[in-house]
A and B are shown apart, each in its own frame.
Chain A
């Protein structure tokens, strides 16, 4: 396997005006452009059907773009898919493991397929990912006997065993419990510190916030916003105040009083009054002053910084769907019983 020649100021991933129209005329991408720097953790954030998976599948050479260009590790995905494949690791949304093979065999297979011959080096790499993803207790187990969380970890270990410069993870934390999720983020940050570029998609805003160096918000096949999580939050600059009123004061009257201020963006009346203000510092003082003027006493008051939810709401006009649809479990059972379709 030839080493990928380093280029001056080369991006790990470059995407220019990418579009994808599926047969049948349904557009999935409507012209997306972005670039990911080497060593970055880049989060692609968006609801179901926003074009996240389509983008990933084009970047890992599984799908052809309708128009536009994309380069991974400096290689064009359309013209040099072979070179791109030498540069990447990938895990799909659905875990890709072979129930008949053991954990260790999966890793050997992937190493061999990526041109890492049986050798000390291969052994060392395999032991390393087994260690990293805490798989040593199950290294000899067949994948069919592993829990969902372990299968996910094995899948990511497979994608990393050949030390790809660029790692693509399509919703890597789906189906993981919070503990496994935290552990996975720990692993990924370590991997990133070793120089691997990580491109991931997620519907979980809090995760993207904590783990990603930069995020892009996609919606309806368009990239609506891009930046560091903190910059995006700063830009939105919204603060969220939650207050309860003393002595059963009329929350609708309080809402009326607050709605007059230009600093207040929105008010949701109720037992707990939720007030969004343009800036927590100034907004908080304003809210307290206005309620005082109206003769309404505050019992409790909590403040919260803008979250990525707010960012998302601001740029897409709707709230992100972070929960799995209720029918998810049932429909996946159904799909399993009737042969899952990949496309």
Chain B
């Protein structure tokens, strides 16, 4: 049995064993989804918004909340790495006759499965509240896949910090420090055209913005291949910047 599969399974089993962690990272976005869609509905659910093509303010909120869920899970991926270092499990893996890469791949794959599941939960709750994906199953799949890709990039950053610091508190603080601005400096809560120029400028270099915009379009309007390609390119660049650093940190930690 390939080590990557074994380790993916092990990481997923761990998630199931401490479901509070998985639930906690999806509970926050769900609370926000309900709260913001209610409190801002009068202010935001306007003909102006609908004129731009959005079905509802709720529909606009959904992709951002999916992104929040996967970024939290990415952060937990880093925390799990610190925990494996502390518990001695990483050392156990290092003295096993398996490829070093399978240790990292096992984590990424388990994270991705968790992220897709969390995205689906957010979409499901939104559906219960009356939002539906206009682009159907294909659009739903696209949204889940794109948020999971972003989540893996986020997990790469969290693991980089975790492997360099070997400190759970620091990973946590750094993760939250990155996650919330990534969400607020994006169209997650309001279309970018209603936001100040500087926010628009920052959003242009924020990979989360691209994923959220694609999601919002898939929720309400329809697919735009040009936008999809732009998003994939931005995610690829982010991955190319981050992942070599993470792999290098991992190599340094595992020789």
Contact = CB atoms under 8 A, between A and B. Distances in A.
Interface of A: 1, 60-64, 82-83, 85-86, 88, 90, 92, 94-101, 105, 109-110, 112-115, 117-118, 142, 158, 339-342
A97 B3 contact: no
Contacts of A99: 87
A118 B1 contact: yes
Nearest to A1: B97
A117 B1 contact: yes
B247 interface: no
A94 B95 CA distance: 15
Nearest to B94: A62
Contacts of B96: 85, 110, 113-114
A194 B166 CA distance: 40
B-side interface size class: 20 to 34
Contact of B95 (A85, A101, A112): A85
B169 A88 contact: no
Interface stretch (B12-20, B107-115, B217-225): B12-20
Given A90-B95, A99-B87, 4 more contacts: A61-B255, A113-B6, A118-B1, A339-B167
B244 interface: no
B89 A98 contact: yes
B85 interface: yes
B95 A60 contact: yes
Task: Give the top 10 A-B pairs by smallest Cβ distance, nearest first.
Answer: A96-B88, A113-B96, A100-B17, A85-B97, A86-B97, A112-B6, A100-B14, A340-B86, A96-B92, A90-B95
A328 B21 CA distance: 32
6 contacts: A61-B95, A92-B88, A92-B91, A100-B14, A112-B6, A113-B3
Nearest to A336: B86
B168 interface: yes
A62 B95 contact: yes
Contacts of A158: 92
* Majority secondary structure, A binding face: loop
Which of B17, B82, B85, B169 is the most central at the interface, judged by chain A CB atoms within 10 Å of its CB?
B17
A62 B3 CA distance: 19
Contacts of B88: 92, 94-97, 342
Contact of B98 (A64, A92, A113, A341): A113
A103 to B, nearest CB: 14
Contact of B91 (A62, A82, A109): A62
A63 B91 CA distance: 11
Contacts of B95: 60-62, 85, 88, 90
Which of A90, A117, A158 is the most central at the interface, judged by chain B CB atoms within 10 Å of its CB?
A90
A101 B10 contact: yes
B27 interface: no
B14 A342 contact: no
B91 to A, nearest CB: 6
Nearest to B17: A100
A62 B85 CA distance: 13
A276 B162 CA distance: 56
Interface string B227-255: 00000000000000000000000000001
Contact of A342 (B1, B13, B91, B169): B91
Contacts of B49: none
Contacts of A142: 17
B97 A115 contact: yes
Nearest to A94: B88
B187 to A, nearest CB: 37
A163 to B, nearest CB: 14
Which of B3, B13, B91, B169 is the most central at the interface, judged by chain A CB atoms within 10 Å of its CB?
B91
